[in-house]
């Protein structure tokens, strides 16, 4: 076949074309038409390109309309946003005027903004934010075709906790999304517009302010970035990393401002010692410390040292001596004292327990923990402060005990565990081969975020499925991106002219 000559218009001269079939260019029976097209348009639109554009056009509408609705399918089926035990504590922050342990005032304000819409405004924001972050991640990785977004979105909806998180009035949806947003902002900020950078900055800051564990994970990722940057200057831009780090500062300032506005206290959200105390209680350190020191120290818990509940949930949220002794207000100082003294006196055992808790947390990824029909605290808060929501809330499937995650988790759990393993392997493979491309950096970000989340939540709060499920879907997304990149390369090879 003669070599194709480039015309002055930038196209190709098709005056002489071999008539045998070709796998890329469609050959017309009228060569003069293709030659004229090349000279006047500078390129030729072949059948495959036309089909791809038609497919993408349809996919744009599917992505824009169907995916947000599918992300909210659990709530739409339920007839009301999904609620969780912690939802009421966040919602009450606007009304009660004081700081509650582990309940962000920033997220409380966010929930209050959606009250007049029966909280559907909140779910709409969560669904659209999810679609935006997914699309933007694909865009910066060069995989932004709408059909690809639809395929990956459907896979996540069908096999992960993502739609359940988007349908729930809880901070968990922002934990995973913020990791992706930080990845884009830090490593691919040059591929985003100024408006997108501002939106990403605000989103990550809000996510960090919504939950202390999310802030800790994001802070940990930034710290790792600064540690490895001297070795990866070309891969991790200082400007992007500085911008990402500033989101943590902005999130902290946002939380302090909201705390002051709602409570009059310029203070951090309380409860850190109480949550850590609960984990140490489960591991036996509290009972051991009380038995070792109650003879010398007059602690409020000493009379109850042989009656302590077995779990943190029973102690903090059940009917225990914690209520008798004044809850966080009456016991916070003593719990902090016992936590610090236990760390100092039993360091080796504490380290062993922390490793065990982290390992256990890594395996806990089931969807739906705490989303049941028995959440009396949340029901009580809604009845007290938003009584107009009682009727639609009580009519929902969840409040009629018709929500069961057994069948769902037969899919979600193995997919989540497999995804985490695959992403960790992709990261390790990239390090071994010293091939730190975009996919390796994404896999590394997700792997480190998942490990950091397991450590922070497992060690401080104790292992729970909820903490793993809110991050596991990000691993599935990263795995699907790696697969899409591989298939895109195969497709590009197939389209090369013979």
Cβ-count burial 296-311 (b if 16+ within 10 Å, e if not): eeebebeebbeebbee
Q: For residue 162, what pLDDT is reported? A: 98
Backbone angles phi, psi at 166, to 5 degrees: -65, -25
- Percent above pLDDT 70 for the chain: 86
Q: What is the domain partition of the chain in residue ranges?
A: 5-41, 64-270+364-494
Q: For residue 328, what pLDDT is reported? A: 86
The Cα angle at residue 469 between residues 464 and 473, in degrees rounded to 5: 160
Identify the CA nearest to 106 among candidates 245, 233, 268.
268
Full-model pTM: 0.85
Q: For residue 292, what pLDDT is reported? A: 94
Q: For residue 225, what pLDDT is reported? A: 97
Q: For residue 434, what pLDDT is reported? A: 86
Q: For residue 273, what pLDDT is reported? A: 84
Under a CB-based contact definition with an 8 Å cutoff, are residues 416 and 465 in contact? no
Q: For residue 29, what pLDDT is reported? A: 40
Residue whose structure tokens are 């009972």 = 287
Q: Where are the alpha helices (DSSP H) in 264-326?
A: 272-282, 285-293, 312-317, 321-324
Q: For residue 487, what pLDDT is reported? A: 86
List the pLDDT tens digit at each of the 498 positions of the chain.
Answer: 444 444 444 444 444 444 444 443 333 444 433 343 444 444 445 555 555 555 556 667 777 789 999 999 999 999 999 999 999 999 999 999 899 888 999 999 999 999 999 999 999 999 999 999 999 999 999 998 888 999 999 999 999 999 999 999 999 999 999 999 999 999 999 999 999 999 999 999 999 999 999 999 999 999 999 999 999 988 999 999 999 999 999 999 999 999 999 999 999 988 778 888 988 999 999 999 999 999 999 999 999 999 999 888 889 888 899 999 998 888 989 999 999 999 999 999 999 999 999 999 999 999 999 999 999 999 999 999 999 999 999 999 999 999 999 999 999 999 999 999 999 999 999 999 888 899 999 999 999 999 999 999 999 888 999 999 999 999 999 999 999 999 887 755 444 444
Q: For residue 240, what pLDDT is reported? A: 97
The Cα angle at residue 497 between residues 495 and 498, in degrees rounded to 5: 120
Sequence-ordered strand ranges (E) for 157-219: none
Residue whose structure tokens are 């029901």 = 379
Under a CB-based contact definition with an 8 Å cutoff, are residues 477 and 134 in contact? yes
Q: Which helix (H) or strand (E) holds 328?
A: helix 327-345
The DSSP call for residue 80 is S
Cα separation, 101 vs 104, whole angstroms: 8
Identify the CA nearest to 477 among candidates 151, 241, 206, 214.
151
How is residue 132 written in tokens? 């935006």
Cα separation, 68 vs 130, whole angstroms: 8
The DSSP call for residue 169 is S
How is residue 378 written in tokens? 């949340």
How is residue 398 written in tokens? 């969840």
Packed helices 465-494 and 146-159: angle between N→C axes, nearest 10 degrees: 150
Q: For residue 37, what pLDDT is reported? A: 43
User: Within the chain, how many helices (H) and strands (E) appear?
Assistant: 25, 2
How close are the terminal C-alpha atoms of the chain, in Å?
10
The set of residues, in sequence order, having a beta carbon less than 8 Å from that of 237 and lying 6+ positions away, is 186, 187, 189, 190
């Amino acid at each position: 076949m003669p070599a194709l000559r480039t015309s002055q218009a930038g196209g190709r001269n098709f005056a002489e074309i071999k008539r045998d079939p070709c796998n890329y260019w469609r050959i017309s029976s009228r060569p003069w038409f293709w030659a004229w097209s090349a000279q006047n348009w500078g390129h030729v639109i072949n059948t495959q390109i036309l089909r791809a554009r038609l497919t993408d056009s349809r996919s744009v509408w599917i992505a824009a309309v169907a995916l947000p609705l599918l992300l909210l399918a659990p709530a739409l089926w339920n007839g009301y946003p999904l609620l969780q035990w912690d939802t009421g504590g966040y919602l009450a922050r606007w009304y009660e005027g004081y700081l509650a342990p582990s309940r962000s005032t920033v997220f409380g304000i966010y929930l209050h903004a959606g009250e007049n819409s029966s909280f559907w405004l909140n779910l709409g924001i969560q669904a659209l934010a999810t679609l935006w972050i997914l699309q933007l991640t694909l865009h910066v990785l060069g995989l932004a075709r709408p059909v690809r977004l639809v395929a990956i979105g459907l896979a996540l909806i069908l096999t992960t906790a993502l739609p359940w998180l988007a349908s729930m009035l809880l901070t968990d949806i922002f934990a995973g999304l913020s990791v992706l947003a930080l990845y884009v902002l830090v490593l691919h900020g040059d591929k985003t517009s100024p408006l997108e950078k501002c939106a990403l900055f605000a989103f990550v800051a809000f996510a960090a302010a919504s939950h202390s564990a999310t802030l800790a994970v994001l802070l940990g990722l930034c710290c790792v970035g600064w540690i490895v940057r001297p070795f990866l200057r070309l891969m991790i831009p200082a400007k992007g990393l500085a911008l990402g780090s500033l989101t943590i500062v902005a999130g902290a300032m946002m939380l302090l401002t909201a705390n002051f506005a709602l409570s009059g206290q310029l203070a951090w959200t309380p409860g850190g010692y109480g949550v850590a105390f609960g984990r140490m209680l489960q591991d036996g350190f509290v009972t051991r410390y009380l038995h070792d020191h109650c003879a010398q120290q007059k602690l409020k818990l000493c009379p109850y040292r042989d009656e302590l509940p077995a779990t943190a949930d029973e102690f903090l949220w059940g009917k225990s001596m914690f209520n008798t002794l004044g809850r966080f207000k009456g016991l916070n100082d003593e719990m902090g004292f016992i936590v610090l003294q236990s760390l100092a006196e039993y360091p080796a055992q504490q380290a062993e327990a922390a490793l065990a808790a982290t390992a256990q947390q890594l395996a806990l990824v089931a969807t739906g923990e705490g989303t049941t029909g028995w959440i009396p605290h949340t029901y009580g808060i809604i009845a007290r402060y938003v009584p107009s929501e009682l009727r639609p809330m009580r009519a929902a499937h969840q409040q009629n005990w018709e929500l069961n995650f057994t069948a769902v988790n037969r899919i979600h759990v193995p997919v989540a565990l497999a995804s985490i393993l695959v992403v960790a392997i992709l990261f390790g493979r990239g390090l071994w081969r010293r091939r730190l491309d975009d996919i390796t950096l994404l896999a590394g970000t997700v792997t480190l975020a998942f490990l950091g989340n397991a450590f922070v939540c497992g060690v401080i709060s104790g292992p729970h499925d909820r903490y793993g499920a809110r991050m596991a879907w990000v691993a599935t997304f990263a795995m699907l991106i790696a697969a899409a990149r591989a298939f895109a390369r195969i497709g590009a090879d197939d389209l090369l002219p013979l």
